[in-house]
Amino acid sequence: MKLQISMTLPSGERQTRTLDPDLLGPGDDTACRKATGLPVSAFIDEDTFGSDSVLVVWWIAGRQAGRHERYQRVVQTWPTIADLQRADPDIEYLEDDSPEG
């Protein structure tokens, strides 16, 4: 199951990123632990999804797409809950549509 996240950047541009948990590796967990103290898996559970999850999913999905931004830069982009609300995050859990999934 993939996570698709869309957010409005401060510039007004709407951007969508997709995180594929099957493509997560030790480097992602190491980077996430270094930035947050927790592995990526702690942030992608539907039952405990919060504002920090939005930022981590955005950041890790960007890493999967080849963007090399730092987590702290993502936090600086949306430093408050009000900023994050203005970004109007839309998170969708996408079912795996492969014949095996």
Q: Which pTM value belongs to this model?
A: 0.89
- Give me the pLDDT at residue 99, please: 54
Q: How do residues 13-70 score in pLDDT, each as one tens digit?
A: 999 999 999 999 999 999 999 999 999 999 988 788 889 999 999 999 999 999 989 9
Q: How do residues 63-93 score in pLDDT, each as one tens digit?
A: 999 998 999 999 999 999 999 999 999 999 8
Does 6 have pLDDT greater than 80?
A: yes
3-state DSSP assignment of residue 77: helix
**CA distance linking residue 7 with residue 89, whole number of Å:** 5
- Give me the pLDDT at residue 95, please: 84
Does 97 have pLDDT greater than 80?
A: no
Cβ proximity of 100 and 22 under 8 Å:
no
Let me know the angle formed at the C-alpha of 43 by 39 and 45, rounded to the nearest 5 degrees: 120
